[in-house]
Homo-oligomer: A and B are copies of this chain.
Amino acid sequence: MKILITGGAGFIGQRLAKRLLDRNELNGKPVTEIVLLDVALPNDDRLLSDERVRAETGDISDPAVLRRHIDTQTEAIFHLAAIVSGQAEADFDLGMKINLDASRALLEVCRAAGHKPRVVFTSSVAVYGGTLPDVVQDDTALNPQSSYGTQKAIAELLLSDYARRGFVDGRVLRLPTISVRPGLPNAAASSFASGIIREPLAGVRSTCPVDGETRVWLLSPKSAVEALIAGCEIDREKLGNRPIVNLPGLSVSVNEMVAALREVAGDEAAGRIDWQRDERIEKIVGSWPGAWNTARAEQLGLSGDENFADVIRAYIEEKRADERA
């Protein structure tokens, strides 16, 4: 099976590729080729040296680039490429180009290819907003309060209609905020949700831009990758007329995140957080749900994390393993 991952040089993209290579199977077929398409090449040597991997650069909003990398052999596509929330708010046109136009172009190229590939779009807590129940339900209306959330909601609608019409075998997985991400802070409004754990663990101070009572809905990178694969493997019939699935997450307040950091790494680490509210970030993050109902996801065999302290422990363990490698 040939697999395309857009945003394949990103953190989740590379991690997903490695997991697919390790299991060497998707939808019951062996993994013969993984194309990692992104604006840059991946930095992971293990990926680059695997003969099943082909790393490609290109602008995914250019249909010609997509046509070059999607053919009737491409049986599964994970569309992860995106302009993150903070950047899409700062640069409206770039967000529209990548989060909307590229998603639509991808669906059109699949439609033209005609073989109905399995297409997985990732979406986000950011499609919700406005007045929300404490726990968002499957039938809660979307009311995004950011351009990123709007663009993701539109991509969801497009994929759903392309799937309904039989142009693709599509599904949308709505991801909680991913934490703990390794690496550097990024332009996502949710960047702090990793930063306030990652930086203190590395002995570096980190600023938390939201109130400690702010409730966030989190998923670890490892569980996110497992959910992407499990989501890709769900039988189409089981999705009925609604190919959008809210993935399970952990509902924690920022104060609870810090308490978990204290539990795992001690007072000194937890003391490395500076609290300085940023209205711009608070407005975006505060519009997102702190939890949603996970009954449907669980019914479909998707699962999340048990508790945030374990997520931190897993992050530390992986970081050590990477440093040894």
Contact = CB atoms under 8 A, between A and B. Distances in A.
Interface of A: 92, 129-131, 138-145, 147, 150, 153-154, 157-158, 160-161, 164-165, 240-242
Interface majority SS (helix, strand, loop, mixed), chain A: loop
Contacts of A138: 141
A165 B241 contact: no
17 contacts: A92-B165, A129-B241, A130-B240, A130-B241, A131-B139, A140-B141, A141-B141, A143-B160, A145-B164, A147-B161, A147-B165, A150-B157, A150-B158, A150-B161, A153-B157, A154-B158, A157-B157
Given A139-B141, A141-B141, A154-B158, 10 more contacts: A129-B241, A131-B139, A142-B157, A143-B160, A143-B241, A144-B161, A145-B164, A145-B241, A150-B158, A157-B157
Closest 3 pairs (CB-CB, A-B): A150-B161, A139-B141, A141-B141
Nearest to A131: B139
Contacts of A242: 130, 143
A299 to B, nearest CB: 15
Contacts of A165: 92, 147
A143 B164 CA distance: 11
Nearest to A148: B161
